[in-house]
Amino acid sequence: MDTSLHTMENLFSQLGLDNSEEAIENFINQHELPENVKLENAYFWSPAQSAFIKECLVDDSDWAEVVDQLNVQLRK
């Protein structure tokens, strides 16, 4: 069983992105996701990042909650 803590910082690390508070805030401020675009289809993800996000949501994995949080924050 995976008992690791799934935080926004850990999600950004998993995605290969800078996971500092400032970097996460900057990422969210610099990227806006239109309502008609699924999170995993956003233009700013690499194919691997997109696949990871899609897998998290489809499988309702332990990461799904924090991925959902990111989704909400990107929709301004």
pLDDT at position 1: 42
**Domains detected in the chain:** 8-73 (1.10.10.1130)
Contact yes or no for 69/8 (Cβ under 8 A): yes
Give the model confidence (pLDDT) of 3-58 as tens digits. 468 999 999 999 999 999 999 999 999 999 999 999 999 999 999 999 999 999 99
3-state secondary structure of 20: coil
Q: Where in the chain does DSSP place strands (E)?
A: none
Q: How far apart are the first and last CA of the chain?
A: 35
Cβ(14)–Cβ(52) below 8 Å: yes
Contact 61, 51 (CB under 8 A): no
pTM above 0.95, yes or no: no
Two structure tokens written together for 24:
């996460």
Position 76 confidence tier, pLDDT thresholds 50, 70, 90: confident
Using one digit for the tens of pLDDT, what is the confidence trace for 57-66?
Answer: 999 999 999 9
